Chains A and B, each alone.
Chain A
């Protein structure tokens, strides 16, 4: 991972909620259309796996996407995200609503996004991250650039980093060796 700010670890320690963009972060940005107008996207199971653990540890997890499709809505429901908004034109408004709804400060929210529409949140939130294949002008505006590209486990990388910074990752692994906590 590339760290653009030198207090990233301190920032990560304060995080209580992780928000992310879908296309280009949770997926590689590709969208497959069939003749009936149906959309298909490929998700990475590594991203989905960690969400149950995050939620069990009282993290709030959410997605804000500019696009609107059933396939994404279904995936968000399946992952039991606390918050997901689709077809959003101004992400900052949804971010402000999210903040108030869960009584959070900017410092407590991590955001992962990869495009211009995400910038307003990236520059405000407590910890900002973008995938390795984001444009240079996005990379310049975040705390962390992951080694992974969109759809390759970007969300997992940031989640692990945050869990690690709060000494939660090690205990999670130790516990998991003894019991199955897939909920």
Chain B
């Protein structure tokens, strides 16, 4: 089984311009992501997919594995699907270009799960803070007993009928035994499924929540969720960027 990692790296980020090319102590953010992915043991190749010549030029200094995609794609999935169409591989792991601290072990765990032939796998992290629960940018996910996603939402799911007000108003951290999960935008798909996925029509729930992964559930497919203790440090804002710089100082 040939497993590859594809890192989509777009330049026009609305909240933080040119973010994937921002410098993190001598290396761009996307280069740091790339180098983290290279550390993964069971991966055959790592590629960067981009629609920007600027990103291409910058990345050429450390890799030849750059795939140019059209800049007209409506979604990240379409971009990945276009990128891998001509690459001979069985499984694609999609790691966002703004996750410089992604753990290699997590990607390894993700690719290992394909031994049981699921079509799509993603990752979740237990939420600690009530503040994160209320944040609509933190996507929540609920799962069944097989750890397959039941629903993804910007709302808080599940609802806690008996202690809802108490939870939201009187707690800073989420008390045991309550469990809420945050969805991290790291995906693995079989190539066959990815091509099918990019052919599916946009769904009603997907459009409402602005969450592309809902298209998979709306069409009846399953997404296997892996729990991780890695807390995504995606870089979306200037504040996130400064935090990342600090984090590098600590290491």
Contact indicator A96/B119 (Cβ below 8 Å)? yes
Contact indicator B117/A96 (Cβ below 8 Å)? yes
Contact indicator A93/B220 (Cβ below 8 Å)? no
- Contact flags (1/0) for A76-114 with B, using CB distance below 8 Å? 000000000100111011101100110100000000000
Question: 13 A-B pairs, CB-CB below 8 angstroms?
Answer: A85-B192, A89-B90, A90-B192, A93-B190, A94-B192, A96-B117, A96-B119, A97-B192, A97-B193, A97-B196, A97-B221, A100-B220, A101-B219
Contact indicator A93/B219 (Cβ below 8 Å)? no
Contact indicator B196/A101 (Cβ below 8 Å)? yes
Interface residue tally on B, bucketed by range: 10 to 19
Residue of B nearest to A64 (CB): B192
Could you tell me the distance in whole angstroms from the C-beta of A16 to the nearest C-beta in chain B? 16
Could you tell me the distance in whole angstroms from the C-beta of A44 to the nearest C-beta in chain B? 28
Q: A residues engaging B (CB < 8 A)?
A: 85, 88-90, 92-94, 96-97, 100-101, 103
Could you tell me the distance in whole angstroms from the C-beta of A85 to the nearest C-beta in chain B? 7
- Contact flags (1/0) for B190-207 with A, using CB distance below 8 Å? 101100100000000000
Contact indicator A100/B221 (Cβ below 8 Å)? yes
**A92–B90 CA distance with the chains assembled, in angstroms:** 13
Q: B residues engaging A (CB < 8 A)?
A: 90, 117, 119, 190, 192-193, 196, 219-222
Could you tell me the distance in whole angstroms from the C-beta of B204 to the nearest C-beta in chain A? 18
Residue of B nearest to A88 (CB): B192
Residue of A nearest to B200 (CB): A101
**A85–B117 CA distance with the chains assembled, in angstroms:** 18
Q: Which residues of B contact A103 (CB under 8 A)?
A: 220
**Given A100-B219, A100-B220, A100-B221, are A90 and B117 also a contact pair (CB < 8 Å)?**
yes
Contact indicator A90/B90 (Cβ below 8 Å)? yes
Q: Which of A85, A89, A97 contacts B119 (CB 8 A)?
A: A97
Q: Which of A88, A93, A101 contacts B117 (CB 8 A)?
A: A93
Beyond A94-B192, A100-B221, list 7 extra A-B contacts (CB 8 Å): A85-B192, A90-B190, A90-B192, A93-B190, A96-B119, A97-B221, A101-B196
**A93–B120 CA distance with the chains assembled, in angstroms:** 11
Residue of B nearest to A103 (CB): B220
Q: Which residues of A contact B222 (CB under 8 A)?
A: 100
**A103–B117 CA distance with the chains assembled, in angstroms:** 19
Could you tell me the distance in whole angstroms from the C-beta of A109 to the nearest C-beta in chain B? 15
Contact indicator B221/A93 (Cβ below 8 Å)? no
Residue of B nearest to A99 (CB): B220
Could you tell me the distance in whole angstroms from the C-beta of B192 to the nearest C-beta in chain A? 5
**A97–B219 CA distance with the chains assembled, in angstroms:** 11
Could you tell me the distance in whole angstroms from the C-beta of A54 to the nearest C-beta in chain B? 23
In the A-B complex, the 9 residue pairs with the smallest Cβ-Cβ separation, listed nearest first, are: A93-B192, A93-B190, A100-B220, A100-B221, A97-B196, A94-B192, A92-B117, A97-B193, A93-B117
Residue of B nearest to A89 (CB): B90
Could you tell me the distance in whole angstroms from the C-beta of A66 to the nearest C-beta in chain B? 12
**A90–B220 CA distance with the chains assembled, in angstroms:** 21
Q: Which residues of B contact A92 (CB under 8 A)?
A: 117
